[in-house]
Amino acid sequence: MGFSDPAAVSRRFPARPGSVSAARHFVRTALDGVAADLVDTAQLLVSELVTNVVLHARTEGEVVVSRPDGRVRVQVGDHRPSREPVPQRFPPCAATGQGLALVEQLASRYGVGSVHEGKTVWFELWPDSPQPQPQPQPSSSSLWSSPARDGAVPPWPCDQTVTLVDVPGALYCACAQHRHAMLREVTIAASVRGDLPVAPEDLTTAHDINNVISACVAAALREPLPESGLRSLVLPMPADAAPAVRTLRRVLDLAEEAAREELLLTLPALPRSRAFRDWLFDQIVGQLTGSRPTAWTVMPREPDVSSSELVPWEVGQVQVSRIPTIAADEGNWIIAANDPAADLLGWAPDDLVGRKLTTLIPEHLRERHTAAFTSLLLTGRARIVGRSVPLPALHRDGGVVPVRLYIQTQETADGRTVFVAQLTPRTPTPLDVPKAAAVGENEQTPGLRDLEIDESPPPAGPEGWGRPAGTERDMSALDRLSLLADLGAQLNNTPDMNAGLQGIGRLLTQRLADGCVVDLLTEDLHVDRVCVAHREPRGLRLSAYEGRIPAVAEESHGPLARVLRGAGPLLLTDVPPPAGTESALDTNYLELLRSLGAGSAVVAPLRARRKIFGALTLTRAPGARPFSPDDLASVDDLVHSLALGVDNARLHQETRSIAGRLQHSLLPVLPEVDGLQMAARYAASSTTAQVGGDWYDSFALPNGDTAMVIGDVAGHDLDAAIAMSQLRNMLRGIAVDRQEPPAVVLRRLDLANHSLYREATATCVYGLVKGPPQGPWELTHSSAGHLPPLLTTWEGETHYLEDGAGILLGVDPKMTRPTACTALPPHSTLLLYTDGLIERRDEPLDDAMERLRRLSADLAREPLDTFCDELLIRLGADSADDIAVLAVRPSPSV
Residue range 305-322, pLDDT digits in tens: 655 455 677 777 787 677
Give CA–CA dist 633/467, Å, rounded: 22
CA-to-CA separations, 785 to 122, 747, 817, in angstroms, rounded: 82, 13, 11
Indicate the pairing of strand 611-620 with strand 600-608: antiparallel
Q: Residue 701: its pLDDT value, please?
A: 94
Q: Which contiguous run of DSSP H or E holds residue 831?
A: strand 829-833
Confidence of residue 105 (pLDDT cuts 50, 70, 90): confident
Instruction: Give me the DSSP letters along 403-466.
Output: EEEEEEEEE-TTS-EEEEEEEEESS--------S--SSSPPPPP-GGG-----SPPPPPPTT--
Are the C-beta atoms of residues 97 and 76 closer than 8 Å to each other?
no
Q: Residue 452: its pLDDT value, please?
A: 36
Cis status of the peptide bond prior to 773, with omega within 30 of 0: no
Q: Residue 97: its pLDDT value, please?
A: 56
Sequence-ordered list of residues with C-beta below 8 angstroms from that of 850, at least 6 positions apart, any chain = none
For the ranges 68-77, 710-719, 750-759, the one whose mean pLDDT is highest? 68-77
Is residue 96 scored above 60 in pLDDT? no
Q: Residue 822: its pLDDT value, please?
A: 95
Sequence-ordered list of residues with C-beta below 8 angstroms from that of 396, at least 6 positions apart, any chain = 345, 346, 347
Residue-wise pLDDT tens digits, 674-702: 999 999 998 876 555 456 678 899 999 99
Instruction: Give me the DSSP letters along 638-657.
Output: HHHHHHHHHHHHHHHHHHHH
Confidence of residue 145 (pLDDT cuts 50, 70, 90): very low
Is residue 66 scored above 50 in pLDDT? yes
Q: Residue 12: its pLDDT value, please?
A: 92
Residue-wise pLDDT tens digits, 523-578: 777 888 888 888 876 666 777 778 888 888 888 888 888 888 888 788 888 776 66
Residue 759's SS3 state is coil
Q: Determine the distance from the C-alpha atom of residue 537 to the mean position of all C-alpha atoms in its chain, rounded to a whole number.
A: 21
Cis status of the peptide bond prior to 629, with omega within 30 of 0: no
Are the C-beta atoms of residues 619 and 595 closer than 8 Å to each other?
no
Residue 735's SS3 state is helix
Residue-wise pLDDT tens digits, 41-52: 999 899 888 888
Average pLDDT over residues 157-185: 84
Which of the two residues, 230 and 485, has the higher pLDDT score? 485
Q: Residue 757: its pLDDT value, please?
A: 66
Give CA–CA dist 144/58, Å, rounded: 9
Is residue 398 scored above 80 in pLDDT? yes
Q: Residue 461: its pLDDT value, please?
A: 33
Average pLDDT over residues 485-511: 75
Q: Residue 304: its pLDDT value, please?
A: 63
Which of the two residues, 776 and 881, has the higher pLDDT score? 776
Give CA–CA dist 706/768, Å, rounded: 6
Among 8-12, 191-195, 266-270, 571-575, the least confident range? 191-195
Describe the strand order of the beta sheet including 570-572 as a list of residue ranges.
547-549, 527-534, 515-521, 611-620, 600-608, 570-572
Q: Residue 148: its pLDDT value, please?
A: 33
- Strand-pair partners of 328: 334, 419
Is residue 799 scored above 70 in pLDDT? yes
Q: Residue 307: its pLDDT value, please?
A: 57
Q: Residue 821: its pLDDT value, please?
A: 96
Q: Residue 222: its pLDDT value, please?
A: 66
Is residue 64 scored above 90 in pLDDT? yes
Residue-wise pLDDT tens digits, 345-362: 999 988 999 999 989 999
Residue 270 backbone dihedrals phi, psi, to 5 degrees: -75, 160
Confidence of residue 82 (pLDDT cuts 50, 70, 90): low
Residue-wise pLDDT tens digits, 7-26: 789 999 998 878 889 999 99
Is residue 266 scored above 50 in pLDDT? yes
Nearest Cα to Cα of residue 359 among 390, 388, 381, 337 = 337
Assign 3-class secondary structure to 269-330.
Answer: CCHHHHHHHHHHHHHHHHHHCCCCCCCHHHCCCCCCCCCCCCCCCCHHHHHHCCCCEEEECC
Q: Residue 770: its pLDDT value, please?
A: 94
pTM of the full structure: 0.64
pLDDT above 70 as % of the chain: 79
Are the C-beta atoms of residues 285 and 242 closer than 8 Å to each other?
yes
Is residue 419 scored above 80 in pLDDT? yes
Burial 448-463 (b: 16+ CB within 10 A, else e): eeeeeeeeeebeebee
Is residue 646 scored above 60 in pLDDT? yes
Q: Residue 469: its pLDDT value, please?
A: 36
Among 87-91, 479-483, 802-806, the least confident range? 87-91
Give CA–CA dist 736/731, Å, rounded: 8
Is residue 802 scored above 80 in pLDDT? yes
Is residue 2 scored above 70 in pLDDT? no
Average pLDDT over residues 452-458: 33
Are the C-beta atoms of residues 232 and 166 closer than 8 Å to each other?
yes
Among 193-197, 569-573, 585-589, the least confident range? 193-197
Is residue 169 scored above 90 in pLDDT? no
Residue-wise pLDDT tens digits, 201-225: 888 888 888 888 888 887 777 665 5
Are the C-beta atoms of residues 808 and 763 closer than 8 Å to each other?
yes
Nearest Cα to Cα of residue 531 among 651, 646, 440, 656 = 646
What percentage of the chain's residues is helix, strand, coil (to nearest 5)? Answer: 35, 25, 40
Give CA–CA dist 770/776, Å, rounded: 8
Average pLDDT over residues 817-821: 94
Is residue 449 scored above 80 in pLDDT? no
The sign of the torsion formed by the CA atoms of 227, 230, 232, 236 equals positive
Are the C-beta atoms of residues 563 and 615 closer than 8 Å to each other?
yes
Are the C-beta atoms of residues 217 and 231 closer than 8 Å to each other?
no
pLDDT above 90 as % of the chain: 26
Arithmetic mean of pLDDT over the chain: 79
Q: What is the largest CA-CA distance in the chain?
A: 112
Q: Residue 440: its pLDDT value, please?
A: 37
The amino acid that residue 687 corresponds to is: T
Average pLDDT over residues 789-799: 95
Average pLDDT over residues 233-258: 90
Instruction: Give me the DSSP letters along 491-543.
Output: HHT-SSHHHHHHHHHHHHHHHT-SEEEEEEE-TTS-EEEEEEEESS-TT--GG
Is residue 143 scored above 70 in pLDDT? no
Task: Compute the residue count for the chain.
Answer: 894
